[in-house]
Every structure is written in structure tokens, then in C-alpha cells.
């Protein structure tokens, strides 16, 4: 068992302003495990004593999603849920603790990291639900939330059928409470964490990584059975998609999706490698490259298995389906 001093040191490292290597953050999931196992109200002060979340942009990798821990929650527009003067916003990253939240899975509270005594709180007034942050109180049912990591939704656990909603047409970009609706109505209630373990799927084929020395080949293949994955250690279909660093990383190694001269492969992860910058478009289901402008991951034909990089197509284009990939989580939490 690692000591509390170890976790204090790890969290201070996370607060560093110096870009860190992936190896320095191999144990971040252990820190979140510590948070998860110390998640009663009485333990929150101990957790707060450990962390310094003024700037966590150095965080390179989590390796797996944890049941409880500290997260950024990104809207469908890829903007984080932020607290400012007790109000909630879905706008540009502030590079501060305002973007970070501690989810206590036992009490179902979302604790603000910019004001650690306050929690996300929704209340009924004038026949309408409102949301702000308020003094944390585990007995206050206005502060009980169901964070559905699999369905990408933050739903109130007490008030009936109301969800956190970020309307991109709102001039102030203020987050509100609205009646829950399916994501195909609009994406205003779509929330994802800064890193999640996912599959990329198309027509029952899954994005698959195969290691070969310093680079790896990728293809779309049928779902590997768990025993087959264990026998073929060089093949993996789970990917850690990191919205902070815009990397798509093979879950079992240090290889990231990489595009160069139209070719897509995997190579050793580096947060400074511009060929490894990706953004999954929640609206169009396209995996867009952020460096090679207007380029998307694409298959060369309908039943094709070999992906490459090509100009992004609008949904009205006849070949748009070759760029449409479903992203869904491989780990689900209650």
C-alpha cells in the first residue's frame, strides 16, 4: 500500500507547470483509486489536503477510467464544464481548477475543485430546475447525481428526468437543467470525461492495433474474444481517448494513433507529436485530425479494413459512411 505521502507527492506533481512524460503519470489511476476508497464526507478533507489542482494540463494519461476520481467533463463541443462564482458554464478550457470535479460515487456528489467546500447542486424554483454550486452536504438530495459514463450523461439522481444541458446557442454558454432527452434529439446533454477507454466500431469491425517495433499497423477487424486477446498480446482493440491531449492511445501499451502523408499507423506516444492529434466529432461521428486540416480517418471501401487519412466529407456526401465510426465505452459504471 502506497503511503499518503506518496499520493501527496503524486498530486503535487500533477500541479506542476512543466510538461511531464507519460511515465511520470503511470500511477495516476492509483491516485484516483485512493480517492475512490476515501470517498465518505469525512474523508473529503483528507483528499483536499492532498491535491493542488491549480493546473492539471500536464496530465498525459490515466490508463483506465476509475469509478471515482477527479475529472474534466467535456460537452459535445469539446468544452469543459466550469464553475465560476457558483455558476456553471460550458466554454473554453480555463487551465485552472475551475474545470475539475471530484465525483464521490458513494454520496453521488460532484465536488468543485475551484471551491472545495461546494458541490454541484440542482433545486426547484418557480416550477423550473436551476443548477449552481452550494455548500457540500451529503444529506442534501439536491446534490445527488448519476454520472452515466457509458451513456455520456449527467442526470440528477433525485429530481425526476432532468439532466445537465449545455446549449451552444446560449450567448453566455451557461449550463442549465433540462428535461432529459436522447442524444439523437440534440447533443446538448452529451458529456464525456477527459479520458475514457473506448472501441471505435464500424459495421461490426473494430479499430485494432498491432505492434511492430517502433511503429504499429492498424486495421478494422472482428471483435477479439478475451481469450484471443490474451493469446495475441500484440493485438488490441481498446483505446484510451484523451480529450485534454487529443490523443488516441492503445490501451495496453504506449502506442498512439498517428497520421503522416495520408498513412495512419501507431507510434510511440508523445504529447508534442502533432501527427497524433485527433478529435472525435460527436455530431458527425468522424475522427478528425487536428493538425492535418480538414482530414478524417476513412476506409477505402464499404467492407474495407485498412484505414487512411482523407478529406473530411459532409454527412450528405455519398461516401460519408466510410468516415463514420461509433465510439462507445468498454467500461461501464453505475
Is residue 334 in some structural domain?
no
Is residue 236 in some structural domain?
yes
Task: Calculate the CA 180 to chain-centre distance.
Answer: 21
281 and 322: one domain?
A: yes
Is residue 207 in some structural domain?
yes
Kindly tell me if the per-residue pLDDT of 74 is higher than 80: yes
Which 8-state DSSP code applies to residue 88? E
83 and 156: one domain?
A: yes
Interval 98-135: pLDDT, tens: 999 999 989 999 999 998 999 999 999 999 999 999 99
48 and 187: one domain?
A: yes
Closest CA to 193 of 307, 298, 329, 316: 329
- Rounded CA-CA distance 299/306 in Å is 6
Average pLDDT, integer, range 215-234: 68
180 and 210: one domain?
A: no
Query: pLDDT grade, residue 141 (50/70/90)?
Result: very high
Is residue 302 in some structural domain?
yes
CB 76 within 8 A of CB 187: yes
- What is the DSSP annotation of 49-62? HH---S--TT----
169 and 208: one domain?
A: no
242 and 324: one domain?
A: yes
- Rounded CA-CA distance 87/109 in Å is 16
Q: Which domain holds residue 269?
A: 195-329
268 and 304: one domain?
A: yes
CB 115 within 8 A of CB 102: no
Whole-angstrom distance between the N-terminal and C-terminal Cα of the chain?
Answer: 26
* Of 139, 162, 193, the domain-final residue: 193
- What pTM was estimated for this model as a whole? 0.77
178 and 249: one domain?
A: no
180 and 278: one domain?
A: no
Whole-number pLDDT of residue 164: 98
Q: What share of the chain is helix, strand, coil (3-state, %, to 5)?
A: 15, 40, 45
CATH number where 9 lies: 2.80.10.50
- What percentage of residues in the chain have a pLDDT greater than 90? 57
Number of domains in the chain: 2
Amino acid at each position: 500500500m502506497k503511503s499518503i505521502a506518496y499520493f501527496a507527492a503524486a498530486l503535487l506533481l500533477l500541479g506542476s507547470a512543466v510538461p511531464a512524460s507519460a511515465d511520470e503519470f503511470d500511477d495516476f489511476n492509483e491516485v484516483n483509486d485512493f480517492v475512490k476508497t476515501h470517498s465518505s464526507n469525512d474523508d473529503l478533507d483528507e483528499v483536499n489536503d492532498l491535491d493542488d489542482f491549480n493546473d492539471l494540463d500536464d496530465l498525459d494519461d490515466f490508463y483506465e477510467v476509475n469509478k471515482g476520481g477527479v475529472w474534466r467533463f467535456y460537452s459535445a463541443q469539446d468544452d469543459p464544464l466550469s464553475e465560476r462564482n457558483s455558476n456553471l458554464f460550458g466554454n473554453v478550457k480555463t487551465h485552472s481548477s475551475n474545470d475539475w470535479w471530484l465525483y464521490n460515487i458513494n454520496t453521488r456528489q460532484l465536488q468543485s475543485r475551484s471551491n472545495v467546500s461546494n458541490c454541484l447542486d440542482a433545486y426547484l424554483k418557480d416550477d423550473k430546475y436551476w443548477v449552481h454550486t452550494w455548500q457540500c452536504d451529503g444529506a442534501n438530495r439536491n446534490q445527488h447525481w448519476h454520472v452515466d459514463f457509458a451513456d455520456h450523461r449527467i442526470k440528477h439522481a433525485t429530481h425526476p428526468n432532468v439532466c445537465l444541458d449545455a446549449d451552444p446557442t446560449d450567448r453566455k454558454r451557461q449550463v442549465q437543467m433540462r428535461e432529459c432527452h436522447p442524444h439523437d434529439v440534440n447533443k446538448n446533454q452529451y458529456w464525456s470525461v477527459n479520458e475514457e477507454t473506448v472501441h471505435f466500431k464500424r459495421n461490426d469491425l473494430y479499430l485494432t492495433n498491432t505492434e511492430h517495433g517502433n511503429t504499429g499497423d492498424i486495421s478494422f477487424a472482428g471483435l477479439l474474444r478475451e481469450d484471443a486477446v490474451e493469446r495475441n498480446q500484440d493485438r488490441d482493440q481498446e483505446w484510451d481517448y484523451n480529450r485534454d491531449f487529443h490523443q488516441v492511445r492503445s490501451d495496453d501499451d504506449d502506442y498512439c494513433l498517428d497520421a503522416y502523408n495520408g498513412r495512419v499507423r501507431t507510434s510511440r506516444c508523445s504529447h508534442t507529436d502533432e501527427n497524433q492529434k485527433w478529435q472525435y466529432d460527436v455530431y458527425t461521428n468522424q475522427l478528425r485530425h487536428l493538425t492535418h486540416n480538414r482530414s478524417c480517418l476513412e476506409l477505402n471501401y464499404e467492407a474495407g479494413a485498412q484505414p487512411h487519412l482523407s478529406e473530411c466529407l459532409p454527412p450528405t456526401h455519398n461516401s460519408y459512411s466510410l468516415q463514420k465510426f461509433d465510439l462507445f465505452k468498454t467500461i461501464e459504471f453505475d
